Every structure is written in structure tokens, then in C-alpha cells.
Amino acid sequence: MVRQRMVARRGIGRPRLEKARGNKIQRMRSIQVKTARPRSTKPSQKSRVHVEDSSSEVAANLSVKPAGTAGNPPSAGYQVTQQVGHQLRRAYQRHVSIFQQGIPDSQLTMPQFVALCTIRDLGSCSLNEIVAQTFIDQATIRGVVDRLSSRKLIDVGEDPSDRRKLAVSLTPAGAQLLEQVIGVAQDITEQTLGSLNEAERIALVYLLEKMCAST
């Protein structure tokens, strides 16, 4: 009797046990499926922002070609004839041409004329003082002084205060030559300024002096 009850209990508990095992297996399969599920390929918000920023940067770089490429060489847009140095050189060459045509002494060059005027204004002076006033370099001013001295337009001797230095002064012949050409030099300046009105002439001289003062 007792054995029959035990058998009966075993018969009743077996379906429950099998059902529990089945539920357990099903849960394990569900966990495996979730674990094996591939990650989403959809980028996160942070990733999308980074990609968009990178794309914008690339587009900006492509829209502006760097200097030195075939499409945009370094010299693009540079016109030498429009530069201030070129215009100043043209103006100086024009002035020199007017000076050479108008000056009555064909042997007198512009640097020599400038040196004579400086020596007249300074009186007895050294080569360094002439250089400082005329902005003519030392090597050039020596040649100018030699040629003026050979023509007896200036006198070159020892500086009484320092025998190591030369003292340069204007001779009567040099003073006479300046008297003859000063009036012509004023006409040369007038021709150089050409059609500029009074205000433009003042502005031109002011700007040139300002440019020179900045060096």
C-alpha cells in the first residue's frame, strides 16, 4: 500500500519536474539569444556630431585651396606694376631724367648736386656728416667727393680737431656753380610734381617724409 502511494507520488511529480526543466532550458536559450544579439549599427548622438563636424571641416578645406598649388600659386594676384616700390622707382627715374635734361652743367650728377648743397648748408664737415644728411652710402659718397674735388668745387683736407678725419668745404667755384643751378633745380622740382595741385604736393611730401621716418 505504501509502495503504491510512493509510485503514485512519483508519477504525479514527474510532469512537474519535466515542466520545470523545460522552463529552465527555455530561459537559458533566451539568455543566449540576447547575448548573441548584434550591436546596433546606428551611431550615437555623440558619434553623429563628430562625423558632421569632420565632414564640415573637410568641406571647408576643400573649398579653400592652399597657396602654392596649381590652382592658387603664391604669385596669384601680385602685380609688380601696382606696388609702391615700382611707382617710387618710376617717379625717381622720371625726376632724374628731368634733372639731366634741365641742369646746365652736364657733368653735374644728382648725387653731386645733393652733396654740394649739403656741404654749403653744413659748412666744413666730415664724410660721415654728409652721409647722415644725404643718405648716400659711404662708398658712393667717397666717389662723389673725389669727383667734386677734382673739379675744384670742394676742398678736402684734414680735420683740425681730428687729423684722422677729412674735412670737406665748399670752394668759391662750387658756391658759384650752385648759384647758377639752384634756380634750374627749382624748375626741375616743379616739372617733377607736374599737374599735382598745392594740396596734393603737400600731401605727397608729407607721406614720403613719414615713410622715410619709419625706417
pLDDT tens digits, one per residue of 132-191: 999 999 999 999 999 999 999 999 998 777 777 889 999 999 999 999 999 999 999 999
Interhelix angle 110-122/172-193, rounded to 10 degrees, is 120
Q: Which runs of consecutive H residues, i.e. helices, occur in the chain?
A: 2-36, 45-63, 84-102, 110-122, 127-134, 138-150, 172-193, 198-213
Q: What is the dihedral of CA 78, 80, 85, 91, to 10 degrees?
A: -140
Domain boundaries along the sequence of the chain: 87-213
pLDDT band at 30; cut points 50, 70, 90: low
CATH architecture for residues 87-213: Orthogonal Bundle (1.10)
Q: Could you tell me which of 179, 185, 127 has the C-alpha nearest to residue 156?
A: 127
